[in-house]
Structure 1
């Protein structure tokens, strides 16, 4: 699958922001508004991809994985996406959509804790350079 053209990708991201899935809505409700000073963007374009959520300070991509991610062709694309994002120095945190639906507060807490930890290590690396 070829990545979308840049203009189309930004239009897709805009549309995706309007059409969040139920698990994405539940997670976004808990991480938007800079909780603990951590800023997230939803449906954020990164290179040829659109991340479900992105925290620039932590260089953290958060992906909500629904049942479609269990299909073999989608799983293969996910692997390529993970490799590309990792090569850009980004950390990817994948969360099962069912886990968010079961306990969105716990899922959001995990995301915020990971973002804080990664942001701190990124900050330490840049200060030491």
Structure 2
């Protein structure tokens, strides 16, 4: 599953791009809080929000490091969603992408810890 190193979208279709644009206007409170720490290169790398990758849209993506950050709400506790998330993670990992998932409650209740974990991962991948 080789992709052009400069293709940060990994073949995402125009439909996926359109859906991503729409999602940018519907961010959750957890995504909004996390974005306030990821935007404007605050961690020394550029993150994009609601970014299309192949057939998926990820919450946050740093192309330079091939790092995805996901903010997971309660729906991710459902068995079917867990199975889908697992399959999706495996698919994205085939592109050499590293994934980090945080529950919304973690983002709200331990914001500094979550940001520190992301910063550590950024440092490790540089």
TM-score range, shorter chain: 0.7 to 0.9
Alignment of 1:67-78 (within 5 A): 67-78=74-85
Tell me which protein shows more helix as a share of its residues.
1
Gaps (5+ residues) in structure 2? 1-11
* Residue 103 of structure 1 pairs with residue 106 of structure 2: no
Q: Which 4+ residue blocks in structure 1 deviate beyond 6 angstroms? A: none
Q: Deviations over 1:80-114 (max 9, x none)?
A: 10110111111101111100011323322221221
- Inter-partner Cα distance in structure 2 for 1:80 and 1:36: 29
Question: Normalized against structure 1, the TM-score is what?
Answer: 0.83
- C-alpha displacement of 1:20: 0.6
Indicate whether 1:16 and 2:23 are aligned.
yes
| Equivalent residue pairs, number | 115
Between structure 1 and structure 2, the one with the greater Rg is 1
2:25 and 2:118 mapped to 1: Cα distance?
Answer: 22
Q: Unpaired segments of 5 or more residues in structure 1?
A: 121-129
Q: Which residue of the partner structure matches residue 45 of structure 1?
A: 52
**d(CA) in 2 for partners of 1:12, 1:89:** 24
